[in-house]
Amino acid sequence: MPDTPHSISSSPAHDDSRLEELRRWLAGQQATGGTIVPAAADASFRRYFRLHPENGTTRIVMDAPPDKENLEAWLRVSGLLAGVGVHVPKIERADPARGFVVMEDLGDDSYARVHDRRDPLWERCIADALDTLVLMQHGIPPGRLPVYDETRLRSEMDLFPVWLLGRHLGLDAGRGRDLLAPLAERLVAEALKTPYRFTHRDYHSRNLLAGPPPLPGVIDFQDAVWGPVTYDLVSLLKDCYIDWPRTEQKRWLVRYLDASPTDVRRALDPETLLFRFDLMGVQRHLKAAGIFARLFWRDGKAAYLESIPRTLDYIVQAASEWPLLTPFAGFLRENVLPHLDEARRRAHGEAACTP
C-alpha cells in the first residue's frame, strides 16, 4: 500500500500525473481507505473510476481535467435534473477547480447491455426512459441552458463532410458540403419549428442505466441545451449503438406523444412528429458520423468507427418514407456506405504503423 488512503489499480495509460493528483485529493477529503480501479472510458477527456472502500458501498470518481472539461456545467445540469426528480448520481464531494467528483455508483448495467442480452426488462426500460424524457422536457424551465440555435445546428452538420468524407474516406469535402447544403436548409428549418425544451443531447443506451431504481439512471448530461423535443427522441429511438426496428420507433413515438403535455400535442400531431423526428435524425446522424471519424483520426479512439454504418443507414431508411431525403440517401448508398469497411481497415492499418 502507498502512503495514501487509496491504492490505484489501472492500466499504464491511466498511470499519469492526474491520477497522482486524484490520490492526493481523495486523501485530503478524508475518504475511507480502499482501492480505485478504472470504471469507464468516455468519448471526451473525462475518465471514471470505481472507489472500493474498505467498508461501505462503492462510489464513482470522475476525473474531468479543468483545462479540457467544464465541470461547472456538469454540476449545474446535475442540479437541474435532480431538482425535478430525475435519477442522476448523488454528488458526495466535488472540486471544480481540480476537476474531481465523488458520486453515487449507479452500476454498469447500461440499457445497451440490457438490450444485448435480450433481457425482458428491456420493454420497461424504454417506457421508463420515455417517461423520464417527458419529465426532463417539461419539468425544467427555459432560460437555464444554452439554446440549440441555427448556428449550432448548421455547424454540427459540417463535421460530416470534413471528418467523414474528407479525412476518413478521402473524398472532396467541398463537394460533400454542396450536396448537403439544400437538405441542411430544410433540416434546420424543421428543427426550429419544433417545440423547444430541455435536451440532454446524448440520451441513448450507453448513458441510461438499469441499476438501482428508479429507472433509468441518467448520466453524461453536461452538454445539455434548450433544443427541439425530437432530438432526444432520436438519440433514444435511433440509437447509434443498437438497432431499432421502424415499427418499434413508431410505436414508442405514439407513446411519447400520449404522455406529453397539451401544448406539445397541439404542435405535433403523429404525422408531423414522425416527419420532424426523421429529419432531426438526419441532422444528428450526420453530426455523429463526423464525430465518430474525428474520434479516431484526432483522438485515437477506434471503437466508434464500428457505429458509422448503422448511423448512416438510419438516413437511408428514412428516405423510403420522405422523398426529400432521396437524393442525399442515394449519395450515401453510392459513394459512402460501400467504402466504409475498406476505410476502417485502412484506418486501423495506419494506426498500427504509427509509433
> Cβ(136)–Cβ(84) under 8 Å?
yes
**Residue 34 pLDDT:** 73
CA proximity to 168, closest of 303, 297, 314: 297
**Residue 1 pLDDT:** 26
**Residue 9 pLDDT:** 38
Positive or negative, the CA dihedral 80, 85, 88, 93 is positive
**Residue 12 pLDDT:** 36
**Residue 54 pLDDT:** 79
* d(C-alpha 100, C-alpha 253), whole Å: 38
> Cβ(146)–Cβ(76) under 8 Å?
no
Can you tell me whether residue 39 is helix, strand or coil?
Answer: strand
**Residue 5 pLDDT:** 33
Angle at the Cα of 172 from the Cα atoms of 169 and 178, rounded to 5 degrees: 120
Domain-wise residue ranges, the chain: 6-104, 111-353
Pick the CATH number of 6-104 from 3.40.50.1820, 3.30.200.20, 3.50.50.60, 3.30.70.100: 3.30.200.20
Mark out the alpha helices in the chain (DSSP H runs): 17-28, 71-83, 111-116, 121-139, 150-157, 159, 173-193, 229-237, 246-259, 262-267, 270-297, 308-319, 326-331, 340-353
Q: What is the pLDDT of residues 235-266, one digit of tens each?
A: 999 999 998 889 999 999 999 999 999 999 99
Spans of the chain below 70 pLDDT: 1-15, 30-33, 41-43, 350-355
* d(C-alpha 254, C-alpha 189), whole Å: 23
111-353: in CATH 3.40.50.200? no
**How is residue 159 written as a grid cell?**
463535421
Strand-pair partners of 208: 218
Give the position of cell 400531431: 269
